[in-house]
Amino acid sequence: MPQGRTAHSHRPQAQAPHSQAARGRDARAGGGHARRRRAVAASLASAVSVCLVAASAPAVPLGIGDRLFPYLGNPGYDVLSYDIALDYPGRNDRPLEAVTTIDARLTAGLDRINLDFAHGTVHSVEVDGAPAGFTSAGEDLVITPEGHLDEGERARITVRHTSDPVAAEDREGGWVRTADGLAMANQADAAHLVFPCNDHPSDKAVFTFRVTAPDGHTVVAGGLPAGVDRTRGDATWTYRTRHPMATELAQVSIGRSTVLHRAGPHGLPLRDVVPTAHRAKLGPWLAKTPAQISWMEERAGRYPFETYGLLLADASTGFALETQTLSLFERDLFTDPSLPAWYVESVMVHELAHQWFGNSVSPRTWSDLWLNEGHATWYEALYAQERGGRTLEARMKAAYEASDGWRAAGGPPAAPEPPEPGRKADIFRPSVYSGAALVLYALREEIGRTAFERLERDWVTRHRDGTASTSDFVRLASRTAGRDLTGFLRPWLYGATTPPMPGHPEWKSEARSAAPARRPVTPAHRPGAGRE
């Protein structure tokens, strides 16, 4: 990361709503605001009194009760779409002016709407085109619309705010400042440091990004391009996703970059974003992506999204990240001569595998993270074996030997210990990477290769574009095997010690004393670590 930057934290600042004429609403909003005004006007006085008392109660932060991140997400609505407009000032140490528009369906009657947002200044808020009151509570932006919001209605929430690229104090993630601009790294709980949102993977939505940047800059975001509008001195780039996406997977790249285009399997459009000065050196690595996609499709079925590519950031992050359709990597991973080719390619496959496991099929809770990282580590290991790395069996034996230590330090794969305050990335421990891949290896040994491979394809087909849980995986595995696997899988997923490995009774695990490791914890997230 760039040196010498000042870390400070902004909280959403309560201000009087700007007086603005109500804007037109499209059919998705359904005229909810007008209906609510009529309903409030016709209500009995006692009902109005109850509503006013509720609205005058102190604003409080809410969450959906996730075991690892209880403050993330908000009850009462389902986000259908985000439209995020960002105005980049040409420097990555100054706030971007932004407008975030959220279309949501109400799943409960609400007098207030809580959004996750904790690192910017809010200028104004509208609900269905009418000014709304707002304040901050913890890491929530608490919005009070003009009238009560009824269950089943659709609402449009428009927030005018800043998005600060300078790191929040004692926080990880959000904007990444590169040598020539910005990128995003929102996993696990940092999207709300960039834009107001319902920041939990259980609430996926489609996204539109509209980013204005000065001439000389290139903008690429998740999804497909939908046009560039150029004016004197700057340009506005628009991208739209065709598939729903979790907030933690959003990606926007702004920089003096070159975009390399090529065709993937069955005509899939591929685009890679590289620092222009390193284009020639990076090109041969990026040319490997089409064959890697074909390799994954043979094992997991057709690639699930509309495009793919690599964003090679000129920044020191210490990790790679599976942002949807545009995975984030450090440039140095591809330019360090000490890294063997098989290793670099296996890191590429790790993030590619996430497009199926973690992105298309997202975790219902953060305790289900092992389904993301275990599968990505599994395919990384298979690919590395084919390209000259350790054999899968050798890697799994080593993982088995360390597994009890990992469980003692950070919890079992499906029940990781909550992170410490200020160290939210601590959930990314060895137990949810190699420890979770070890669970998949044990399952394959138990039910056989044919059934296991069928399970993998069925899993991403059944839950495509949705969310799924550990219990969903156990049920599908049982159905695939033709017998109840709950008794077999539960100790592997939740036990304090590692069960015996089917087919390898001689394998032993040592309960080593180890402090919880901070992310990155595997080769896929730390270039140079774990090489054989």
What pLDDT score does 36 carry? 45
| Residue 32 scores a pLDDT above 60 | no
Strands (E) in 129-205, as ranges, are 130-131, 133-137, 140-144, 154-163, 174-177, 182-185
Name the DSSP class of 108.
Answer: S
Instruction: Please state which of the ranges 22-31, 172-181, 380-389, 390-399 shows the lowest mean pLDDT.
Output: 22-31
What pLDDT score does 328 carry? 98
Q: Which residues of 387-414 are buried (b: 16+ CB within 10 A; e: fewer)?
A: eebbebeebbbebbebbbbbbbbbbbbb
What pLDDT score does 442 carry? 98
Question: Which percentage of the chain shows pLDDT scores above 90?
Answer: 81
User: What are the pLDDT digits (tens) for 204-235?
Assistant: 999 999 999 999 999 999 999 999 999 999 99
What pLDDT score does 132 carry? 98
Q: CA dihedral defined by 37, 38, 41, 43, rounded to 10 degrees?
A: -110
User: What are the pLDDT digits (tens) for 163-189?
Assistant: 999 987 777 789 999 999 999 999 999
| Residue 410 scores a pLDDT above 90 | yes
Q: H/E element holding 213?
A: strand 206-214
What pLDDT score does 256 carry? 95
Q: Three-state secondary structure along 142-154?
A: EEECCCCECCCCE
The residues that bridge with 165 in the sheet, in sequence order, are: none
User: What are the pLDDT digits (tens) for 234-282?
Assistant: 999 999 999 999 999 999 999 999 999 999 999 999 999 999 989 999 9
What pLDDT score does 169 carry? 77
Confidence of residue 519 (pLDDT cuts 50, 70, 90): very low
Q: Share the mean pLDDT of the chain.
A: 88
What single letter denotes the amino acid at residue 68?
L
Name the DSSP class of 308.
Answer: B
Confidence of residue 439 (pLDDT cuts 50, 70, 90): very high
| Residue 390 scores a pLDDT above 50 | yes
User: Global pTM?
Assistant: 0.87
- The stretch 17-23 carries a mean pLDDT of 34
- The stretch 408-420 carries a mean pLDDT of 94
Question: Which percentage of the chain shows pLDDT scores above 70?
Answer: 85
- The stretch 480-486 carries a mean pLDDT of 98
Q: CA dihedral defined by 340, 277, 221, 161, rounded to 10 degrees?
A: 120
What pLDDT score does 56 carry? 59
User: What are the pLDDT digits (tens) for 280-316?
Assistant: 999 999 999 999 999 999 999 999 999 999 999 999 8
What pLDDT score does 511 carry? 67
User: What are the pLDDT digits (tens) for 317-375?
Assistant: 889 999 999 999 999 999 999 999 999 999 999 999 999 999 999 999 999 999 999 99
Confidence of residue 23 (pLDDT cuts 50, 70, 90): very low
